[in-house]
Amino acid sequence: MAFDIDMIKKVYTSMAERVDAARKIVGKPLTLSEKILYSHLWDGTPNKAFTRGKDYVDFAPDRVACQDATAQMALLQFMQAGKPKVAVPTTVHCDHLIQAKSGAEVDLKHANNTSSEVFNFLESVSNKYGIGFWKPGAGIIHQVVLENYAFPGGMMIGTDSHTVNAGGLGMVAIGVGGADAVDVMAGMPWELKFPKLIGVRLTGKLSGWTAPKDVILKVAEILTVKGGTGAIVEYFGPGALSMSCTGKGTICNMGAEIGATTSTFGYDDSMERYLRATDRADVADEANKIKSYLTADAEVYDNPEQYFDQVIDINLSELGPLLNGPFTPDLSTTVGKEMTNKAKDNDWPMQVEWGLIGSCTNSSYEDLSRASSIAQQALDKGLKTKAEFGINPGSEQVRYTAERDGILQVFEKLDAKIFTNACGPCIGQWARYSDPKNAPKNSIVHSFNRNFAKRADGNPNTHAFVASPEITAAIAIAGRLDFNPMTDTLINENGEEVMLDEPTGWELPPKGFDVKENGYLEPVEDGSGVEVKVAEDSERLELLTPFTPIGDTIKGAKLLIKAYGKCTTDHISMAGPWLRYRGHLDNISNNTLIGAVNAFNKQTNFVKNQFTGDYGGVPDTQREYKKNGVWTVVVGDHNYGEGSSREHAAMQPRHLGVAAVIVKSFARIHETNLKKQGMLGLTFANEADYDLIQEDDTFNFLDLNEFAPDKSLHMEVVHSDGSKDIIELNHTYNKAQIEWYKEGSALNLIKKQNA
């Protein structure tokens, strides 16, 4: 069930027929995104044109990928579905649970000791149900998927929001919650609202210090963190053809930061080169046979305005290197003068303390080779790095090859720490401080994708800026945020002024990739005899108990928290030290919403208990309500639940007794996750009603017994002075999703159907 050329041949065989049928039905030339979507319909050959942004459609993805932190809950749910084996090729990747501290060897040993219970659980469940298993240290899920499983024209889902990375190899790859993955693993259709389409036309050519990362940093500036919501971003034009496959992966990867459903590129020579270099000449040969189906029809890219809902133009020749941040990935600043001014105006610490290169976004061989060309210059020109360096190679194959070619040694000569081939600091698995809460204000630069407060090191005062690997290297060497490698000089050990030359590197290793032990375990053919053990007293794993339906009468519900401003999945279910409880619903629920800011006092994890009038932590207060059999409501602002695909952000409130989350707008994955867990995810019909909600409010749902598609709901808000408001609430539940609510969860429904 690992790499499956027969499955790919099957997809390609039906693709031509399905795309031709879709073109007739839609009545116009097709974008690449539409070709992939229409060729993956659950019902086979298309017989209906779908309305973008409106119609819910059942799809049949080709693959599933899960990372260790989300796989625990996904597999715990799959175990309940009553299936002997997964229905489509699926892999599990152990990459999130490895802390970066001393360096790869020591850190990996430590992770294998401290998380052996979880790794063993994932390995045995994978073995039992026919899932390919990538051991800790094998690499970061999306780099491993790109190297081994992604293929042009394919469709996959993954339990990680950066699954979208595989768009770099021409896939439609989408991040989902574990419950969605369970649907596909159980052989059921997977539902998605047919996305809108944004076209990004790339003209010109990248040169000098500018990298693919700058393209997506620019797109993030243009579209902001929610501009891609509900849309697939399709890149095209001469600029797209001039970029490497892994560079395209970087751009697609950070599509998650603009809220896009996914991003993709048409099949081209760079993808063919990458497929051949990663030992998949057979896939390249098959793709070449149907090349015209693996990119948009010619008319589409000639007149994109006619075929996309929105078109953005970027001239790569005019693009300069960018630094995005701090605290949000869409705050874009040009390297050099603009950063100098902005940093001074905003009091961002000018001194940079760390430069981190890695994460699923930028950890390819090309990324490491280009960054090392800068590091090599520091050695050659007698420069000492002012900031510390940390490197996370994307996979064991990248690491082994980079070591063989002397790339890692260049960083080591600059005293860089080479961390495990894993997420590390990108997911807060970074032992930077013993007491992060009281750590000082500082700046770091990294080549990752996310830079929310506390994300990397738990320190709310760390200002994290996102940049390309080569700019990260240059700024780490200079140790200053305002350094412009194109114009500024540095003073070397001899007191001489020197400049850094433009980065150079290799798209692919000149001597080819190599690896000794890639860390992959193939599951046994018949897993029926494999035993999966979960200790009853385990603090990290807990078998699931099905949720009971909330029902159609919610009266007397209390406000748990009215969240103010940004409330990402990190705020709802923090990562970092809490990752260890991802397989234990009750224990991880103790972090529920502790990062959300209470709108009434602007503090985190400090909400009013309406029974006692006392203030306390969100989880404790919620447990009190639950003990008293009282439902609660969470209220939020715009783009609530942006960020990761972790369904814990929905399961935890559900487990603790929150009945409804009512916000101005949702991030797509989180909204679906709430629905899947049988909760109410609703939006204010009138956004200003957010302001009506008071700290002591009680809520009565008035017409939940009439819950139906395209019909708003109404809620009575009773204020502490006895006055009342009735507010209208919108929702996007279709008929099937209302069934999930009625059954208590989507999984309850699957079980019922399989019984």
- Contact set with ligand F3S (CB under 6 A): 95-96, 140-142, 160, 162, 359-360, 423, 426-427, 449
Shortest Å distance, C-beta 450 to ligand F3S: 6
Give residues with Cβ within 8 angstroms of 346, minimum separation 6: none
Which residue in 52, 68, 93, 95 is the catalytic one? 95
In the complex, minimum distance from the CB of residue 576 to ligand F3S, in angstroms, rounded to a whole number: 11
Residue 105, phi-psi category: left (phi > 0), alpha (psi -120 to 50), beta (remainder)? alpha
Residue with tokens 């700290």, as numbered in its chain = 695
CA distance 220 to 507: 25
- Please name the residues in contact with 3: beta carbons below 8 A apart, sequence gap of 6 or more: 148, 149, 280
Active site residue 313: no
Residue 644 annotated among the catalytic residues of the structure: yes
* Nearer of residues 15 and 398 to ligand F3S, judged by Cβ: 398
CB 180 within 8 A of CB 688: no
463 DSSP β-pair partners: 443
Say how many Å lie between the first and final Cα of the chain, rounded: 26
Q: How far is the CB of 359 from ligand F3S (least distance, A)?
A: 4
Distance of CA 290 to the CA centre of its chain: 30
Which CB, 152 or 393, lies closer to ligand F3S?
Answer: 393
- Among 62, 68, 160, 570, the active-site one is 160
CA distances from residue 348 to 102, 595, 722 in whole angstroms, order as listed = 28, 22, 47
The bridge status of strand 520-521 relative to strand 557-562 is unpaired
CB nearer to ligand F3S: give 162 or 654. Answer: 162
Q: Given the complex with ligand F3S, which of 34 and 95 has the nearer CB atom? A: 95
Give φ, ψ of 195 to 5 degrees. -75, 160
Distance in Å, CB of 160 to ligand F3S, minimum: 5
- Residue 429 CB, shortest distance to ligand F3S, in Å, is 8
Query: Catalytic residue among 93, 446, 646, 670, which?
Result: 646
Confirm whether 455 is a catalytic residue: no
269 is catalytic: no
**Minimal distance, residue 433 CB to ligand F3S, in Å:** 19
The least CB distance from residue 427 to ligand F3S, in Å, is 4
- The span from the CA of 278 to the CA of 29, in Å, is 33
Please report where in the chains the tokens 């494999």 appear, as a residue.
Answer: 530
Q: At a CB cut-off of 8 Å and minimum separation 6, what does 429 contact?
A: 96, 97, 98, 99, 100, 422, 423, 576, 579
| Catalytic entry in 142, 432, 450, 571 | 450
User: Exposure string (b/e) for 435-460, b if CB count within 10 Å is 16 or more?
Assistant: ebeebeebbbbbbbbbbbbbbbbbbe
Q: Are 463 and 441 in contact (CB under 8 A)?
A: yes
We find the least distance from the C-beta atom of residue 251 to ligand F3S, in angstroms, to be: 14
| CA gap 557, 513 in Å, rounded | 59
Nearest-angstrom CA–CA distance, 727 and 28: 43
Nearer to ligand F3S by C-beta: 230 or 576?
Answer: 576
CB of 254 or CB of 532, closer to ligand F3S: 254
Taking CA atoms, 658 is separated from 359, 543, 561, 662, 679, in Å, by: 34, 21, 10, 11, 8
Shortest Å, Cβ 568 to ligand F3S: 13
Distance CA(451)–CA(448), nearest Å, equals 8
Whether 96 sits among the annotated catalytic residues: the reply is yes
- Whose Cβ is closer to ligand F3S: residue 256's or residue 597's? 256
Nearer to ligand F3S, 50 or 581 (CB): 581
Pure H helices in 592-632? 618-627
**Would you list the DSSP string of 284-328?**
HHHHHHTGGGGS--HHHHHSGGGTSSEEEEEEGGG---EEE-SSS
C-alpha distance from residue 665 to each of 549, 674, 682, 697, 729 (Å):
24, 13, 8, 21, 11
Nearer to ligand F3S, 180 or 624 (CB): 180
| Catalytic residue list contains 93 | no
What distances in angstroms separate CA 600 from CA 148, 498, 500, 563, 694, one per listed residue? Answer: 50, 54, 50, 9, 8
The set of catalytic residues is 95-96, 160, 450, 644, 646
